[in-house]
Structure 1
Amino acid sequence: MAGNNKIDFKLYRYTPSRVAAVIFVILFSLTTAYHVYQLTRRRAWYFLAFVIGGTFQIIGYICRVLAHDHKDSVPIYSVQTILILLAPPLYAASIYMVLGRLIIYLRAERLSIVPVRWMTKVFVTGDVVAFVMQAAGGGIMASGTVSSYNLGEHITVGGLCVQLAFFTFFMGTCALFHRRIRQSPTTEAVVVTARLHGRSTRSWEGILVGLYIASILILARSIFRLIEYAQGNDGFLISHEVFMYVFDSTLMVLTMVVINVFYPSIVLGRSQRERGEELDTPAVSETGLQERTGTGQ
């Protein structure tokens, strides 16, 4: 990382592209609007953080539109830097809560390496720590001086490392649970699979696929940001706007779209009455369950 007196500090080392920023304002607005529709229709209030993250992106890229003609404006730089930086931790908060809800829905608590009663607390606490560190680092960097930028860099890099560590642990937890429930499926898992007849985007495995893809995208983005900030204000990545749009903006739009497609509450939002009716359907009779779970003689 560059030393305090070895860089020629600039807010931007390019003129922010108005066209690119407008495109992503539109893209984030579309997917966020659909998330609002899905959230309200399914009453998936645990996805509120995800919607707030999308809103942060919209405001952040609107500020980048304004930055095209106001490259020296510290307030505009500050808002876009902080909001675009903080959106992914908000996505992560909702993603973490989904796994715990899915495990409870499938009544598969025994198959999780992290006790479900602690799962949301553990991962969301890590996410909050990462969020606060990145918010503090982004705020300090946005003050517009060389010394504060370097201090903010260190704090932000620390926050990204925390986020990467918890995300890696989360993905391992998710993958191990997936392996175990495929080997020893619960009655509820078989019921959902039988009801949906292979519609992967609306199955419990579809939820896990969505979590995998979204997590990998956020992980890739966080690695990019970690390298970018480690290089300093005069680094190669931060000096070329295209990298931000490829390895942050595009990946985060895809993250939101992936969750639109594999929306967890399509499965998790079903009522107890509906689930009870499914358990009584011929498709999931006792014989059928034995055949699917391998418990028959």
Structure 2
Amino acid sequence: MAEPPARGYIDPNFPNPMGPGDATVIIYGYTPSIIVGVLGAALFLIAGILHSWQLFKYRTWYFCTVLIGIAFEIVGYAFRCLSSKVDPYRVNYFVIQYFFIVVAPVFFSAAIYTVLSILINVTGRRYAPIPPKLILWVFITCDVVATIIQILGAALVGVAESNRKDPTTANNILLAGLAFQAFSFFVFILLFAWFLVKARRVLFKVVKKGFYVAFGIAVVLVYLRVCFRLAETAQGLYSKLSTHEVYFGCLEFAPVVVAIFLLTAWHPGRCIPRTRPVYVED
């Protein structure tokens, strides 16, 4: 029985090496740009250096998950470079870059959740609907579960494509993980907004005002990235969103980079006091 024809993108300027680890098509839907790969690795490296310096200067160990996420981003974009210049058909390159770029924002989200718990501690428990430790456990657990589902789905997509099988089921698994992540992060945004409204008078006395603007924009940008991934996966593997790198650049790469540099410029170590000021009442 003849094999079904390959479905997907094949780069006419980059012949398939047809190695043991190569898919019959480029799973990305395009040949990744070396510019995006190098720019991503370089910008995150710079952000990592700046965050490392501030982490040790202000001893904000609770914010160390940002560094882990940055390291993941660097690895992810390094493998996109390999896909771009070495072999865009290699399944391992696709899966590894997807794993690290998808997992990295989980560590950024963990840092964002931690910032809310720190703000609650310095303003008073009365302004939050649930204890700060519970916020960390609930939302970090949700992110971990969602990410595991996404990684499983992405890996199964790679396997299905390399074996010329229908990837619909694998893509649905990936979609479920993203939908759960989008829902849980949206709940966090509502909780954070509720806290800001309740504690606004105290917060403006305790924390620098510019921090709220920068932090709020960073949160929205991270959520925008989650929504993009959700929309991309919902459209399917060969949709417009997944087969044009410009969307990846504008809605995955750019939002995360801007969010990280905002958190670098308005680092919580400089903007949030270590202890509750004496004029803040419980």
User: Paired residue for 2:268, among 264, 267, 272?
Assistant: 264
**What does 1:90-129 align with in structure 2 at a 5 Å threshold?**
90-106=107-123, 108-129=124-145
Question: What's the counterpart of residue 8 of structure 1?
Answer: 7
Q: CA deviation at 1:6?
A: 10
2: CA distance, partners of 1:140 / 1:14: 19
Bigger fraction of residues in helix: 1
Question: What's the counterpart of residue 199 of structure 2?
Answer: 181
Question: What's the counterpart of residue 51 of structure 1?
Answer: 67
Question: Quick one: which amino acid aligns to residue 87 of structure 1?
Answer: A
User: Paired residue for 2:55, among 12, 29, 39?
Assistant: 39
Does the residue aligned with 1:239 lie in a helix, a strand or coil?
A: coil
Aligned length: 258
Does the Cα contact within 8 Å between 1:64 and 1:80 map onto a contact in 2? yes
Q: CA deviation at 1:7?
A: 8.0
Does the Cα contact within 8 Å between 1:47 and 1:94 map onto a contact in 2? yes
1: CA distance, partners of 2:195 / 2:269: 19
Question: What's the counterpart of residue 226 of structure 1?
Answer: 230
Name the Cα RMSD after superposition: 2.4
After superposition, give the CA deviation of every residue in 1:61-110 in whole Å (9 maximum; x if it has no partner).
1111111231111111111111111111221111111101111122x211
Does the Cα contact within 8 Å between 2:76 and 2:98 map onto a contact in 1? yes
Q: CA deviation at 1:142?
A: 2.9
Q: Note if 1:63 corresponds to 2:67.
A: no
Does the residue aligned with 1:68 lie in a helix, a strand or coil?
A: helix
Question: What's the counterpart of residue 171 of structure 1?
Answer: 189
Does the Cα contact within 8 Å between 2:37 and 2:80 map onto a contact in 1? yes
Identity of aligned residues (%): 30
**TM-score normalised according to structure 1 size:** 0.79
Cα distance change on mapping 1:190 and 1:92 into 2, 3 Å = closer
Does the Cα contact within 8 Å between 1:174 and 1:208 map onto a contact in 2? no
Does the Cα contact within 8 Å between 1:131 and 1:159 map onto a contact in 2? yes
Question: What's the counterpart of residue 105 of structure 2?
Answer: 88
Unpaired stretches in structure 2, ≥5 consecutive residues: 9-24
Does the Cα contact within 8 Å between 2:122 and 2:273 map onto a contact in 1? no
Cα distance change on mapping 1:259 and 1:190 into 2, 3 Å = closer
Question: Quick one: which amino acid aligns to residue 8 of structure 1?
Answer: R
Cα distance change on mapping 1:85 and 1:161 into 2, 3 Å = same
**What does 1:176-255 align with in structure 2 at a 5 Å threshold?**
176-183=194-201, 185=202, 189=203, 192=206, 203=207, 205-255=209-259
After superposition, give the CA deviation of every residue in 1:108-155 in whole Å (9 maximum; x if it has no partner).
211112233422111111111112222222222233445474333222
1: CA distance, partners of 2:104 / 2:121: 27
Question: What's the counterpart of residue 195 of structure 1?
Answer: none
After superposition, give the CA deviation of every residue in 1:10-50 in whole Å (9 maximum; x if it has no partner).
31332221122211211111112211222222222222222
User: Paired residue for 2:92, among 75, 79, 87?
Assistant: 75
Which segment is superposed worse, 232-241 or 112-121? Answer: 112-121
Q: CA deviation at 1:190?
A: 6.7
**TM-score normalised according to structure 2 size:** 0.83
Larger Rg: 1
Question: Quick one: which amino acid aligns to residue 143 of structure 2?
Answer: D
Does the residue aligned with 2:30 lie in a helix, a strand or coil?
A: coil
